[in-house]
Structure formats: C-alpha cells, structure tokens
Amino acid sequence: MAAVGEKTTRRRVSTSILAAMALVHTMCGSAAAQEKPAVSKDIIVTLLGTGGPEPTPTRFGPATLVQAGGLSLLFDAGRGVTVRLYQLGMSSGKGIDAVFLTHYHSDHVSGLPDLWMTGYMFGPFGERAKPMRLFGPSEGSSVPNGVTRIAKGLAEAFSDDVSIRQTDEHITAAATQIETHDFHGDGVVFDEAGVKVTAFAVNHGDLIKPSVGYRIDYGSRSVAISGDTKFDENLIKHAAGTDLLIHEVFATSAQLAELPQMKPVADHHTSPEQAGAVFSRVKPKLAAYSHVLHLGISSDEIASRTRSAYQGPLIVGEDLTRFIIGDDVIVRKWNPELRRYPD
C-alpha cells in the first residue's frame, strides 16, 4: 500500500509541475509563435541566433527557424537555441520537425546536445515522441563523417542521461534516438508537405569541408541561408531570385584588421563589401545579415560598407528578428519588454 501511495503522490507532483510549467510556457510565449503554424502560402523565418563563437548574451549562436507548410525546420543549432525557442513558446522536441547543419564548427553545433536532450524530456519544452531528424553534409567517403558520427558520439557521451530518464521518467526509447541523414554534393535533401530544401556547397576555406548553404522553396516563396562562406559563385547560383537571402558577414575596424590573428578569420568569411556584391547579383526582395561577426565597428557601419556595392533592401539581423515571406517580405522585431512581437 505504501508503494502505491508513493506512486500516486509522485504522479500528482508531476502533474502539478507540468501544469505550472505549461502556464509559464504559455505566458512566455504568448502571441509570440505558433508551434505548428496554420498552413498558408507564406514562409516564416526567425533568426534564433545571429552571433558566432563569442559567448555574448545579445547574439546567441547561429540558428535559423524556417516554418512553412505546417513544418518547423531548424538550420544550425548554436549556443542557446533551446532558450530562444522557449522564448517563442516553442518546444525543443515536438516543435521541431527536422534539424539541418551547415558544417561542424563548434558555434553551429554546440546547442545540438541541449536541443536533443531537452527535446525528449517531459514538459512543454520537450515531449518529442519520435527520433530527432538530423541532416548534414558528409564528404561522401565509405566511413560516415557527418551527422551519423555526431549522433553516435552524442549517444555514447550522454548514455547515462538516456538510461536514467527512460527508467525514472518513462521516456520512450524512440524519443531519445537520432535519425540521421548524411548527404553529399549539391541537390535536394528534403521534400515534404510542399517544402523543398536544397543543399549547395559553399567555400568556408580549404580545411573546413564539407560546408553548405541551404535554399528552402515553398510554392512561389523562397529563402536562402548562406552558412559560413567566403564570396562564392555557387551560392550566387543557388540563391538567385530568392525572396530572402540570409548571409553571414565578418567586419573589423581598420586597427583590428592589422592584427595577424584576424587574417585567418577574415579569409574564411565574407566582408560587407563582398556581401554587397553577392546581394547585387542575387537580387533578393530583402537581404539580411546573420552570423554577424563585427569587431570594433557598429551594425550601422556594416550596413554602410555594404552600400558601396548594393543599394537594395537590407537589414542587419538581431536575435528573434522575424521575416514573413508573402507577396512582400515583412520584418518584425521582438519586443523584450512585452515578450512578444508587437501586433
């Protein structure tokens, strides 16, 4: 009888905790985002993280949420991605249909273990009931060197958490698994519910391969994400005519540019002037910066330097900046005081 009483008490406590978390989750995410937005002709893009390796509280690690056709797709999983999703009122588990990685630098994958493990926990921030789908590039060798290897490493590193939660919290085995999709070369890597994702190689440097960008098409709407890259003709080819082009940028002050440590970093990224040339040739309805690496200069100066080669619509993205791609591209800024997007 005592054992039965203990189980009943535990169930009641768990129910109370879940109810409290759901209330907080609802309050935090009120009017912020729909976990599964109603199917429409639009694409909704949200910059969850617009920074790089620097552990700053204002720009989290690279992560971009693309919602279309009733699907929520995540591109890169940088530091703090689960926090940004929670701010939006979204679950890291059942809220995300698939994750796509551009390459395997730490700032693009450091949030992946958190996303995976938080996703299979109970509560409104988890509740994934099936494997997390993970897509990423490989070099096409007989030995998997992309997301399959990462998934095996995560399973081994965090096996204790998996086994404990399966036993103690009755998390299903399926929820703790990672379904991997390694791909090689340019081409369509995902095609569901009318949403097509095309991967294309980009040049992030001779030693940083594989590295890709993505183009997402849904009906007549489209968005391209550059990933980390130098000026690249292949990116221009695949991004041509998109409604929204999200591109990385690296810029420093003249003084910092003289430091020898800056040269290898600059050699792996795109300057504002080079990005302006890309935008001029792609001709998107809107060009936006994410993965904004700027040392000693302001966002306004980045925009000004871009204008030397591009005069079209441009925005330097911030965390939680949202784009609604319809007949036009509408920009919405997150209001931290209201904890939502203004009406």
0.85 exceeded by pTM: yes
Asked if residue 13 has pLDDT above 50, the reply is no
In tens, the pLDDT along 288-300 reads: 999 999 888 899 9
Residue 190 has pLDDT above 90, yes or no: yes
Q: Is pLDDT above 60 for 131?
A: yes
Q: pLDDT > 70: what percent of the chain?
A: 87
Strand ranges (DSSP E) for the chain?
Answer: 43-49, 63-68, 71-75, 98-100, 132-137, 178-183, 187-192, 195-201, 212-218, 221-225, 244-252, 286-295, 314-316, 322-325, 329-332
Residue-wise pLDDT for 313-340, tens only, equals 999 999 999 999 999 999 999 999 999 9
The pLDDT of residue 254 is: 79
Number of neighbours of residue 335 by Cβ within 10 angstroms: 12
pLDDT, position 282: 98
The pLDDT assigned to 26 comes to 46
The predicted structure's pLDDT at residue 36: 63
Residue 68 has which token pair? Answer: 């279309």
Higher pLDDT, 10 or 56: 56
**pLDDT value for 25:** 46
* Strand 212-218 to 221-225 pairing: antiparallel
Q: How far is CA 271 from the centre of its chain?
A: 22
Per-residue confidence (pLDDT) for residue 20, from 0 to 100: 45
Q: Which two tokens stand for residue 174?
A: 């399926």
Q: What would the mean pLDDT of 261-279 be, rounded to a whole number? A: 90
| C-alpha neighbours within 13 Å on the C-beta side of residue 312 | 17
Contact 111, 61 (CB under 8 A): yes
Higher pLDDT among residues 262 and 62, named by residue? 62
Q: How far apart are CA 62 and CA 341, in angstroms?
A: 21
Beta-carbon-side half-sphere exposure of residue 59 (alpha carbons within 13 Å): 17
The better pLDDT of the pair 310, 21 is held by: 310
pLDDT number for residue 161: 95
pLDDT score for 14: 47
Residues 45-81: b if buried by 16+ CB within 10 A, e if exposed: bbbbbbbbbeeeeebbbbbbbbbbbbbbbbbbbbbbb
- For residue 202, give both structure tokens: 């980009």
**Spatial contact of 311 and 342, defined as CB atoms under 8 Å apart:** no
Determine how β-strand 98-100 pairs with β-strand 71-75.
Answer: parallel
Query: What is the chain's mean pLDDT, rounded?
Result: 89
d(CA 84, CA 133): 20
Half-sphere exposure of residue 141: CA atoms within 13 angstroms, side-chain side: 9
What is the CATH class of 32-332?
alpha beta
Cis before 210? omega within 30: yes
The pLDDT > 90 percentage for the chain reads: 78
Q: Provide the pLDDT for residue 142.
A: 54
Question: Both tokens of residue 119?
Answer: 């996703």
Supply the pLDDT for residue 37: 66
**Exposure string over 142-180, b if 16+ CB within 10 A, otherwise e:** eeebbbbbbbeebeeeeeeebeebeeeeebeeebbbbeb
Taking alpha carbons only, the member of 319, 339, 337, 320 closest to residue 58 is 319
How would you classify the pairing of strands 286-295 and 314-316?
A: parallel
**Residue owning tokens 């369509």:** 188
Higher pLDDT residue, 295 or 237?
A: 237
**105 neighbors 80 (Cβ within 8 angstroms):** no
Instruction: Tell me the backbone φ, ψ of residue 307, rounded to 5 degrees.
Output: -65, -15
C-alpha atoms less than 13 angstroms from C-alpha of 155 in its C-beta half-sphere: 16
Q: What is the pLDDT of residue 143?
A: 52
Distance CA 137, CA 209 (A): 9
Local confidence band at 266 (pLDDT 50, 70, 90 cut-offs)? confident
